[in-house]
C-alpha cells in the first residue's frame, strides 16, 4: 500500500490497518527478540572467555608482583607502594577465607539436599537437626559472596596489569592519598552509589532470588523448618499450578490471574484518564469556584481512608443506604448483592477505587497542565483544531511524557497489591469457593504448591484466596 492510499483512509480503516500490521509483525518481533536474547547470552559467554584468556595472558607477561597477586590479593599493589588498595584487596580475601571456612562451606555443601538430619524429640528433649530454610538462605548468600570474590579477584589482577603497564611507560603510580582524593572527586559517583547498591542487593535482589528458589521446593505447611525439612522438587509446583484437573490449581490460578489483570488495568487507566479529565474541566476557562471543586476532591485524601471506606462498605451493604433508597424508589425489588456476588463485588471495588484515586491524579494532572505552554493551544485553535484534536496532539502526549514512569509503577503496584484498602475481603462467594477448592485438594495431596505470588506457606495464596 502506498502512502496516498493510507492517507485516503478513514480513522476506523487506519486503525484496522495498523492493528493488522501490528499482528502481522508480531512473529518477526518475537523472533527478533529471541535473536537478541541469543546474542546477549552469546556475548556474555564470549566476555567470560575473553576474561579467562586475559588472565592467562596477564600471568604469562606479568612480573613477579603481578603473578603474586594471583595467590594473595593486594600483594602486587602493596609491592608497588599502593598500600591503600592493596590492603583493601587483602582484607577482602581474608574475610572471604574466614567466612568460607567457618560458615559458608557448611551451608554450601548442603545446598543440594537442603539438609538431611531432621529434628527429633528424644525423651523430653528436642534435638534440632538441619534447618532447610537457613541452608537455602545462607547457601544463596554464599553463592553471591563467591561470585563477588571472583569478580574482586579479577579486578585485583587487572589493577596489577594496568599498574605494570604504567610503570613500564615511566609514569608514576597513584599513591593512597591520591586514591582517597579521587573518591571525593573523579570517582565520587562510586562513593555515593556504594551503600545504595549494597542496600539494593541485600534487601531487594537477594530476597527475590531466594523466593524464586523457594518456588522449586516443597516448602509448605507440612514442611515447616526447623521441625520438618523440605527439599527440591524441580518444576513440580509449576506443573501443579498451571495444569487442569481435580488435583491441580490451574483453573483457580487462571481465574485469579485474569481478574488480577483486569483489576490492574481498570485501577490504573480509569483513574489516570478520569483524573486527567477532571483536572482539565476544573482548569478550563470560565469554570467558577475552582478552589472549591479542588477542595472537595482533596477532602477524600485528607479524611482517613479507614473511616471513609468503612462508611462506604456499610453504604453498599444489603441494608445500606444505596439499596434502601433504590428499593424505596421501586427501582429494584430486592437488594443488589454488592459484596456477596462476585461480579457485583468486583464492579463495586473498581468503582470505589475510582473514587479514591481520582483526587490524586487530579492534583498531579493539574500541576502538569499548568506547565503546558498556552501558545500551543492558541496556535492549534488558529489552525482550526477542535478540542479532541488538541487533547490528542498536545495534552495527552505531554501528560504521557511526564507521567510515563508513574503509569508503569502504578500498574505494577496494582498487580502486586490487589486488595484495595481491604475491600477484596468482601468477596465472600469467590473466596469461599476457592477456599473449599484448596481444602479439598489438599486433603488428597501430601504437599502444597509454593509459587510466585504465594503469601503463606502451604499452597496457592492469590489475592482473592485467603487461608482461614
Give the domain CATH number at 352. 1.10.3720.10
* 299 and 434 share one domain: yes
Overall domain count for the chain: 3
| 284-293, 317-326, 361-370: segment of lowest average pLDDT | 284-293
Distance CA 432, CA 441 (A): 14
* 260 and 299 share one domain: yes
* 57 and 77 share one domain: no
Give the chain's mean pLDDT.
82
Please tell me the predicted confidence (pLDDT) of residue 3: 64
* 218 and 291 share one domain: no
Is residue 355 in a domain? yes
* 364 and 215 share one domain: no
Residue 430 reports pLDDT greater than 70 = no
* 223 and 261 share one domain: no
Residue 439 reports pLDDT greater than 70 = no
* 152 and 206 share one domain: yes
Q: Is pLDDT larger for residue 201 or for residue 21?
A: 201
Is residue 468 in a domain? no
* 80 and 196 share one domain: yes
| 94-98, 100-104, 425-429: segment of lowest average pLDDT | 425-429
Is residue 430 in a domain? yes
Q: Contact 321/312 with Cβ under 8 angstroms? A: no
- Residue ranges making up the domain that contains 124: 72-234
Among 61, 82, 108, the domain boundary falls at: 61
* 395 and 318 share one domain: yes
Among 61, 84, 107, the domain boundary falls at: 61
Q: What percentage of the chain has pLDDT greater than the value 70?
A: 87
Q: How confident is the model at residue 442 (pLDDT cuts 50, 70, 90)?
A: very low
Please tell me the predicted confidence (pLDDT) of residue 461: 34
Is residue 342 in a domain? yes
* 94 and 194 share one domain: yes
* 340 and 295 share one domain: yes
Is residue 465 in a domain? no
Please tell me the predicted confidence (pLDDT) of residue 446: 42
Residue 400 reports pLDDT greater than 50 = yes
Q: Residue written as cell 481512608?
A: 305
Is residue 462 in a domain? no
Residue 143 reports pLDDT greater than 90 = yes
Please tell me the predicted confidence (pLDDT) of residue 142: 93
pLDDT tens track for 252-290: 888 888 888 888 898 888 989 998 998 888 888 778 888
Distance CA 182, CA 199 (A): 23
Please tell me the predicted confidence (pLDDT) of residue 232: 92
Please tell me the predicted confidence (pLDDT) of residue 139: 93
Is residue 455 in a domain? no
pLDDT tens track for 152-211: 999 999 999 999 999 888 888 888 888 888 888 888 888 899 899 999 998 999 999 999
Q: How confident is the model at residue 248 (pLDDT cuts 50, 70, 90)?
A: low
* 100 and 43 share one domain: no
Is residue 453 in a domain? no
Amino acid at each position: 500500500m502506498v502512502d496516498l492510499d493510507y492517507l485516503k483512509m478513514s480513522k476506523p480503516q487506519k486503525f484496522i490497518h495498523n492493528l493488522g500490521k501490528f499482528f502481522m509483525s508480531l512473529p518477526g518481533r518475537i523472533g527478533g527478540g529471541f535473536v537478541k536474547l541469543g546474542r546477549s547470552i552469546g556475548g556474555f559467554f564470549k566476555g567470560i572467555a575473553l576474561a579467562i584468556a586475559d588472565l592467562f595472558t596477564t600471568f604469562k607477561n606479568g612480573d613477579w608482583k603481578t603473578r603474586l597477586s594471583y595467590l594473595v590479593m593486594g600483594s602486587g599493589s602493596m609491592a608497588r607502594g599502593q598500600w591503600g588498595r592493596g590492603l583493601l584487596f587483602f582484607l577482602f580475601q581474608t574475610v572471604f577465607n574466614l567466612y568460607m571456612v567457618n560458615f559458608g562451606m557448611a551451608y554450601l555443601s548442603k545446598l543440594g539436599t537442603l539438609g538431611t538430619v531432621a529434628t527429633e524429640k528424644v525423651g523430653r528433649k528436642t534435638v534440632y537437626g538441619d534447618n532447610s530454610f537457613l541452608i537455602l538462605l545462607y547457601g544463596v548468600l554464599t553463592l553471591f559472596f563467591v561470585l563477588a570474590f571472583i569478580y574482586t579477584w579479577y579486578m585485583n589482577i587487572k589493577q596489577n596489569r594496568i599498574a605494570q603497564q604504567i610503570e613500564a611507560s615511566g609514569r608514576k603510580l597513584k599513591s593512597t592519598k591520591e586514591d582517597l582524593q579521587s573518591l571525593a572527586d573523579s570517582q565520587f559517583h562510586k562513593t555515593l552509589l556504594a551503600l545504595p547498591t549494597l542496600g539494593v542487593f541485600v534487601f531487594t535482589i537477594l530476597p527475590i532470588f531466594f523466593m524464586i528458589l523457594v518456588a522449586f521446593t516443597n516448602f509448605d505447611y507440612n514442611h515447616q523448618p526447623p521441625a520438618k525439612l523440605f527439599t527440591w522438587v524441580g518444576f513440580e509446583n509449576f506443573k501443579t499450578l498451571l495444569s487442569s484437573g481435580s488435583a491441580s490449581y490451574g483453573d483457580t490460578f487462571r481465574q485469579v490471574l485474569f481478574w488480577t489483570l483486569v483489576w490492574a488495568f481498570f485501577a490504573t487507566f480509569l483513574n489516570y484518564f478520569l483524573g486527567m479529565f477532571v483536572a482539565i474541566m476544573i482548569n478550563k476557562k470560565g469554570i467558577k469556584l475552582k478552589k472549591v471543586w479542588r477542595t472537595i476532591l482533596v477532602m477524600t485524601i485528607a479524611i482517613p481512608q479507614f473511616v471513609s471506606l468503612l462508611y462506604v462498605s456499610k453504604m453498599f451493604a444489603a441494608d445500606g443506604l444505596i439499596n434502601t433508597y433504590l428499593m424505596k424508589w421501586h427501582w429494584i425489588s430486592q437488594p443488589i448483592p454488592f459484596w456477596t456476588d462476585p461480579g457485583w463485588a468486583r464492579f463495586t471495588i473498581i468503582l470505589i477505587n475510582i473514587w479514591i484515586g481520582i483526587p490524586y491524579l487530579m492534583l498531579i494532572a493539574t500541576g502538569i497542565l499548568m506547565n503546558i505552554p498556552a501558545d500551543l493551544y492558541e496556535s492549534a485553535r488558529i489552525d482550526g483544531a477542535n478540542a479532541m484534536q488538541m487533547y490528542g496532539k498536545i495534552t495527552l502526549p505531554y501528560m504521557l511524557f511526564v507521567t510515563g514512569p508513574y503509569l508503569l509503577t502504578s500498574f505494577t503496584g496494582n498487580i502486586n497489591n490487589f486488595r484495595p484498602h481491604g475491600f477484596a475481603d468482601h468477596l465472600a462467594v469467590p473466596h469461599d469457593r476457592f477456599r473449599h477448592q484448596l481444602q479439598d485438594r489438599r486433603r488428597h495431596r501430601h504437599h502444597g504448591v509454593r509459587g510466585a505470588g504465594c503469601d503463606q506457606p502451604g499452597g496457592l495464596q492469590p489475592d482473592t484466596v485467603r487461608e482461614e
